[in-house]
Structure 1
Amino acid sequence: MEDPSYPGGPPPFVPHYGPQPPAWPPAFAPQPPPKRSHTTGILAALAAVLLAAAAAAVIFWPDRDETAKADAAGKPTRPATPFESALEALHRQAEALVKGDEKGWLAPVDPANKALVTRYRTMFTNLRSLEISHAEFHADKLEGGTAEKVVTQAALGYCFSGVSCPAWRNNYDEGPAKATYRVTFTLAGTTWRITEMNDAAGVEHNYLQPAPWDNRELTFVKGKRVIVAGPRSQAKRLKQVLALSEKAAQVTDKYAGFVNNAQRRYRVYLADEAGWKKWYGGIDQKWVIGYEMPLNATGGDVILRAKASADSRQLAVTVQHELTHVVTLAGGHWENTDDQWLVEGIAEYIGALPRGPQNTGNHDVLSESFRRRGEPKTIAVPPLSDDADDLTVNTLYAMGHYATACMADKFGEQKLMQFTDLVLRAAKKPDEASRTAYGKPFATVDKACLSWIRDRV
């Protein structure tokens, strides 16, 4: 997995992908740019807490010559600079967003710029429907300002559904999830107005942009555990996706409990083709039908491709696979793509439940793989290269499915989840995790599971 830094490197996550279809598609999940989890096409589903009081604030470090000095009584000795005035406006916006105050959120936006007002109103409506519970703006002053104009790079940090929001970090892959914009303020009389907001500058390496909620009106349905959203064109399908997602959440909640990673809410987006090509940078692989995008330590978003999700059985497996990525990756420190077999394997295992691997397309995949290429020498199948062929991709998912099923059979699901959590969220090597969870070196487990798999394929 790449370890990009802000603001210049590649994304900090790894998506999870899956293979091309065997006779009956198994479920897959995605692999890397940040740590994205995807669900594969015909092969089924690929892909990837304390209750905090809602809070909003703007933290900034203005240039020393712009910092207002205070006298002994604590009163500033000079008026706020234009930059400080812009920051204060952002601060009030963040507070209004969390409070549900649309008027306050729109207050600094130039009312004469109808398109800009519409964009800000859309952001507000979508974020409120997603249960935003924390918002904070951080900003830097950019060149191009004048006595009557301030140009800033403003980063909106956000968290949803009352999760414990992490402290701010300047990296995109740390702290709260972020969306960064070039925001221009212009003096109108005595009031500083936002006259331009552009997300094309300074954010090309933020893998969390464009987010589904940004600059597009969405329709929402909510259940007890899941929020499902999509464009109006998908409105009629949202209830079906919600029903499947609520059922999947009951399964994944159980396994989240095993690793103490309970989710406040799950979010699932049903993307039309425009959203699929754009949201979170878009997906080019034709065989991917869904993926999971981690929002740092605060959970993850599941994106489903509406065009490829017509089959309800496959859709159910895909959703359950992707929600598994949320609970097995969120808040962790997984950085080793050598563990891709486990990332996808545990999602295949939980995603296919109550069916075992022998009752899915993964059985056919391994039968063909063993016949054509021989049996793997380890359950820790090497990670996929960018040019991996269909059978190689399918084999990684299938072997991961059988390997996790073997460990569950031999040691129980709780120990399987402990092993998984140690590797994927605590960044332990498989051998250390195996000795801790199973009381045996990984080489011993590996050998036993290869035999277990051979007997069943």
Structure 2
Amino acid sequence: MTGVDQPSRPRRWWPVGLASAAAAALLGAVLPTTLLSGPDAGPPAPAASPRPGDPPAVLARWLGERIGAELHRQAGALLRGDEAAWLAVAEPPAQPDLRRRYAALRAMQVSVWQAEPVGVPEPVDGQPGQWQLRVVHRHCFVDPDCLPAPVQVQTRWRLVAGVPRLLAVDPVGGTTGSRPWEVSELAVTVGERTLVATTPALRGQLPALLRDAEEAARTADRYAVGTPPTRYVVYYAGAGEWRRWFGGGRAGWTAGYAVSTGGRHEVVLNSVGLRDGFVDDLLRHELTHVATLPVRDPSADETWWLVEGLAELAGAGGRPVARYQELPQVRRLVTGDWNGRLDGAAPPAGAGADRVAAGYGVGYLAVRHLALRYGEQALVAFVRAVLHDRRTLDEAARRAFGGHWAVLHEECVAAVRVAVAGD
């Protein structure tokens, strides 16, 4: 990723690469009472109204179905572009937030919007007459046949003349944090393979970002494990948004990352400090993560070099090794305290930018060796076997390359040492 500028030479920041999310796990407890997919799905028949003396559970079930019907109507309004109907479900204090969400989602060309209530409504402590209900929104942008990504929200309601009225929608986020369209105004541009969104203040950069993203998508598609993503989604964050989108809090050297949103990955770039001529490298790196990672990101040191090395190979854009910017950092690691193992390339927690750069470089040089010797198709088969099929490195190497991993590992390490010796 990009770097902190220094007087003599700009140093690259490095991509976090992955921001693992437990979105799928969060949804494990979902008990859908209503599935809402747009204007063509008929609302469910409401349950009988509760009578005086009925248990609270009866009221909760009845209210849940009524809320489901309201969410159904709201989903249809969003998909057909009816802002007034989208807002009609809410009380006035909630409408400014809903109006901003509507504008962002429509700008991103929302093509699927489903709402799944989680369980039944519960009374809000200390707020008589108010109810809270978690809802999972599953959504797609541009392409209606994508795998819908889930996001949970906490909604609050009250009954007005027997009709539930929405009081607030609060992001839940979990380990993933808030999506940009949940918390920010967005300016958006859409290409053949990518969607790029940023803040209104950075709108002027969208044409160049889209051009670079479209070119990066073609590279990422080449390394895709299985069918390439239907759409690469890229967010370009300003300083405040970088701290807020998807939870923020990244290491200071981070220029971008790919985050699992449950079923797919999306990319966030840090606009602060990004220099000209590096955005295309960064996009190739991050979009290759999107094209190659499984739903549940691998986090083991044993495969870190492979995950980041493949993304660096794509990011390098076919340039010769001699032009790889981090060779000096790799040399310092290799001639220093490196243990000579690829699984030792992963930087320890709290590592500085130079150590991170060296780890990425070791992965890049090792993966580049495999691609040159065995071809990109074999390399992608190896990545599939290791990251998606959870094969051991030795089994994956025998399947993809026809050799034992112990031997290939030593070849990769030798290629790393030769590359830094020749720098």
Q: Normalising by structure 2, what TM-score?
A: 0.82
Q: After the TM superposition, which residues 383-402 of structure 1 pair with which residues of structure 2 at under 5 Å, given as runs?
A: 383-402=346-365
Aligned counterparts of 2:166 and 2:141: Cα–Cα separation in 1:
25
Aligned counterparts of 2:329 and 2:299: Cα–Cα separation in 1:
28
Matched residue, 1:117: 95
Alignment of 1:142 onto 2:128: no
Are the counterparts in 2 of residues 102 and 121 from structure 1 also a CA contact under 8 Å?
A: yes
Change (3 A) 1:357 1:32: same
State the Cα distance separating 1:333 from its structure 2 match. 5.9
Matched residue, 1:336: 300
Are the counterparts in 2 of residues 135 and 159 from structure 1 also a CA contact under 8 Å?
A: yes
Q: Normalising by structure 1, what TM-score?
A: 0.76
State the Cα distance separating 1:273 from its structure 2 match. 1.0
State the one-letter code of the partner of 2:99.
R
Matched residue, 2:32: none
State the one-letter code of the partner of 1:262.
P
Aligned counterparts of 2:364 and 2:400: Cα–Cα separation in 1:
19
State the Cα distance separating 1:251 from its structure 2 match. 1.4
Are the counterparts in 1 of residues 196 and 209 from structure 2 also a CA contact under 8 Å?
A: yes
Alignment of 1:29 onto 2:18: no
Are the counterparts in 1 of residues 114 and 138 from structure 2 also a CA contact under 8 Å?
A: yes
Matched residue, 1:93: 74
State the Cα distance separating 1:194 from its structure 2 match. 1.0
Matched residue, 2:267: 302
Q: SS of the counterpart of 1:194?
A: strand
Q: After the TM superposition, which residues 412-451 of structure 1 pair with which residues of structure 2 at under 5 Å, given as runs?
A: 412-451=375-414
Unaligned segments of structure 1, at least 5 residues? 1-16, 37-53, 59-65, 70-77, 167-174
Number of residue pairs the alignment of both structures matches = 391
State the one-letter code of the partner of 1:370.
V
Alignment of 1:348 onto 2:312: yes
Matched residue, 2:326: 362
Alignment of 1:243 onto 2:211: yes
State the Cα distance separating 1:32 from its structure 2 match. 5.7
Q: SS of the counterpart of 1:388?
A: coil
Q: After the TM superposition, which residues 20-419 of structure 1 pair with which residues of structure 2 at under 5 Å, given as runs?
A: 25=11, 28-30=14-16, 33-34=19-20, 55-56=37-38, 68=48, 81-110=62-91, 112-113=92-93, 116-139=94-117, 140-144=120-124, 149-162=130-143, 164=145, 176-181=149-154, 183-199=155-171, 203=172, 206-256=174-224, 259-297=225-263, 299-309=264-274, 311-331=275-295, 334-373=298-337, 376-419=339-382
State the one-letter code of the partner of 2:347.
L
Aligned counterparts of 1:100 and 1:19: Cα–Cα separation in 2:
42
Change (3 A) 1:303 1:33: closer
Q: SS of the counterpart of 1:313?
A: coil
Are the counterparts in 1 of residues 153 and 169 from structure 2 also a CA contact under 8 Å?
A: no
Q: SS of the counterpart of 1:88?
A: helix
Change (3 A) 1:334 1:252: same
Aligned counterparts of 1:24 and 1:339: Cα–Cα separation in 2:
29
Matched residue, 1:454: 417
Aligned counterparts of 1:185 and 1:456: Cα–Cα separation in 2:
63
State the Cα distance separating 1:84 from its structure 2 match. 2.0
Are the counterparts in 1 of residues 17 and 286 from structure 2 also a CA contact under 8 Å?
A: no
Q: SS of the counterpart of 2:255?
A: strand
